[in-house]
Chains A and B, each alone.
Chain A
Amino acid sequence: MDELLKLGGGDKEFVNEMIHLFIKGANECTLSLKIAIETNDRKAIGDAAHKIAPACRHLGATKMLELVKMLEKQADTDVSIAELGILINKLENEASKTIEEVKKHLS
């Protein structure tokens, strides 16, 4: 979590706030993705993925970022909803792992 420390520049309060916002954002993202897949809303899938990408990048959550970027790209193609669903599941799992990881850095 070097990225987290770099992010805050030593400001623990700021880092805590950003971690909380990330967790909130990641949870909102996975919820939005679940609803979007059920309603077949490819645009909503792309939007939800787009929204969480910056946080993933700056927190150094590279695996999650990869999945998010792939999802955003594929939502805009004719890849089947079922395949998007598989990608969303992978993202959900990765998001949970990342959330557990960042929680350790809350002070």
Chain B
Amino acid sequence: MSEKNFSVFVVEDNEWYNKYLVHHLSLNPDYEVKSFFSGKDLIKQLHTNPDVVTLDYRLPDSNGEKLLKEIKTVSPQTEVIIISEQNEIEVAINLLKEGAYDYMVKADDIRDRLLNIVQNIRKNHSLQEKIVHLEKEVQKKYDFQKTVVGNSKGIHKVHELIEKSLSTSINVMINGETGTGKEVVAKAIHYNSNRKNKPFVAVNVTALPADLIESELFGHEKGSFTGANARRLGKFEEANGGTLFLDEIGEMDISFQAKLLRALQEREITRVGSNNPVKVDCRIVTATNRNLMEMVKQGKFREDLYYRLLGLPIELPPLRDREKDILILAKYFVDEFCKENKIPAKVFTPDAQHKLLSYSFPGNIRELKSLVELAVVMSGPNEIKADDISITSFDPLPEMMSEELTMRQYELRILKSYLTKYNDDVKKVADKLDISSATIYRMLKE
């Protein structure tokens, strides 16, 4: 935060009154108060951009309106408080319309009122500075070179695509297994784009009940259904000007997909219970771990909606395909966790590193983060050993080998296990098992 003193210019030709105001304002050690007796002298110093100017309305060489305009032209951020002998409402209203912060009459209590107003202006300035600072922090946080961590070919490709997405408002579809960082990428796109100062609104489609999805996304009018006690804006309106992130888009009920498509085509929504469409301008970022093209073929996802949402597709590789990045990410999470919890940094022993590299991380980055944080807690000072890393796998394949089965039964189990793992993506499973899709369909039929 700025440590700069709060600067106040007092412009008053009356020597007595000038001294009176300057004295009382100067009692606050945080204020740097300067005194002026004419408009001409004030104008010479306006380039220093004072925080506040208290301006006598009736100066010998100028008038309040003229000077107010001059101040607002040269130093638009400066707040101007007009001080006058006369209590003229019309004059006050005009000056406020022209940008004066306040209009005060030279009454008995002016000292206290002026001090209060200047203090309020200072508080507002401080809040503004805080907002600017926080916005910068958020932007730093989503500098995608630092948040989408890794050095593998796959991640460099992701960085490239994020960079390409920034210069326009093209929709983005992020595909990747659970835990690969889809929302992190979505936020990185938003906070590095020209929409960063507008809202980022995230919606998990699976969390929306089917009967309320329209109201959640498009909003509703008061009385439109039981329980609608007031008008409510939907996620589209909340995200207006910014980014709407629809996570797990593959789970969207097909009956609602047509309405979503219309909203995207027309760039307008109609709240439940209303007849009036509302224009919206959102960039749509979607994410899924499903194979939407496959779902389109199966009739579970609309083809026209798929292409409307596709825009720039970004594929997030699973962690097991980013072997190079496992240790980079593990170190990143250790450092972040230690910093957050104010504990000295720790390093992995060679055995611990080997253990991490031998594991397939079905839960991807989310699983790695969870595992690493637990390891930091369980480990001694300085080092994380192999025994500190606790791997709990839900991978059913090892369990299977404890039973005696026929070859056909083993094959079917393996096939079903892979189909579960890859969300029924037949093409992907075929690639992984190095068999044809037709073989998979045949085995399932049998």
* CB within 8 Å for A53 and B85 given contacts A14-B23, A58-B108: yes
A58 to B15, CA, bound (A): 14
**Min CB–CB distance B437 → chain A (angstroms):** 89
Q: Interface residues of A: mostly helix, strand, loop or mixed?
A: helix
Is B19 positioned at the interface, with any CB of A under 8 Å from its CB?
yes
Q: Which residues of A contact B27 (CB under 8 A)?
A: 9
Q: Which residue of B lies closest to A7 (CB)?
A: B20
**Min CB–CB distance B60 → chain A (angstroms):** 8
**Min CB–CB distance B107 → chain A (angstroms):** 8
**Min CB–CB distance B169 → chain A (angstroms):** 58
A14 to B25, CA, bound (A): 13
A50 to B86, CA, bound (A): 10
Q: Which residue of A lies closest to B108 (CB)?
A: A57
Q: Which residue of B lies closest to A17 (CB)?
A: B19
Please encode chain A, from 10 to 30, with 1 for each CB lying within 8 Å of some chain B CB and 0 for all others: 010010011001101100000
B174-198 CB contacts (< 8 Å) to partner A: none
**Min CB–CB distance A106 → chain B (angstroms):** 15
Which residue in A9, A25, A53 is a CB contact (below 8 Å) of B15? A25
Max chain A CB contacts within 10 Å: which of B15, B16, B19? B16
**Min CB–CB distance A97 → chain B (angstroms):** 18
Number of residues in A with C-beta < 8 Å to the partner?
A: 17
B85 touches A18 (CB 8 A): no
Which residue in A11, A25, A57 is a CB contact (below 8 Å) of B106? A57
A24 to B14, CA, bound (A): 12
A50 touches B58 (CB 8 A): yes
A46 to B219, CA, bound (A): 63
Max chain B CB contacts within 10 Å: which of A9, A18, A54? A54
* CB within 8 Å for A21 and B15 given contacts A50-B58, A58-B20: yes
B5-49 CB contacts (< 8 Å) to partner A: 13-17, 19-20, 23, 27
A19 to B437, CA, bound (A): 100
Q: Which residues of A contact B19 (CB under 8 A)?
A: 17-18, 21
A18 to B85, CA, bound (A): 19
Q: Which residue of B lies closest to A47 (CB)?
A: B60
Q: Which residues of B contact A51 (CB under 8 A)?
A: 13-14
B106 touches A54 (CB 8 A): yes
Q: Which residues of B contact A24 (CB under 8 A)?
A: 15
A51 to B85, CA, bound (A): 10
Max chain B CB contacts within 10 Å: which of A7, A11, A58? A58
A55 to B15, CA, bound (A): 10
Q: Which residues of A contact B58 (CB under 8 A)?
A: 50
Q: Which residue of A lies closest to B60 (CB)?
A: A47
B106-150 CB contacts (< 8 Å) to partner A: 106-108
A58 to B23, CA, bound (A): 14
**Min CB–CB distance B283 → chain A (angstroms):** 58
**Min CB–CB distance A8 → chain B (angstroms):** 9
Please encode chain B, from 74 to 92, with 1 for each CB lying within 8 Å of some chain A CB and 0 for all others: 0000000000010000000
* CB within 8 Å for A55 and B85 given contacts A14-B23, A50-B58: no
A17 to B17, CA, bound (A): 12
Q: Which residues of B contact A18 (CB under 8 A)?
A: 16, 19-20
Q: Which residues of B contact A21 (CB under 8 A)?
A: 15-16, 19
B16 touches A54 (CB 8 A): yes
Q: Would you list the 4 A-B pairs with minimal beta carbon distance, nearest first?
A: A55-B16, A54-B17, A21-B16, A25-B16
Residues of B within 8 A of A (CB): 13-17, 19-20, 23, 27, 58, 85, 106-108
Given A21-B16, A54-B14, list of 15 further CB < 8 A pairs? A9-B27, A25-B14, A25-B15, A25-B16, A51-B13, A51-B14, A53-B85, A53-B106, A54-B16, A54-B20, A54-B85, A57-B106, A57-B107, A57-B108, A58-B20
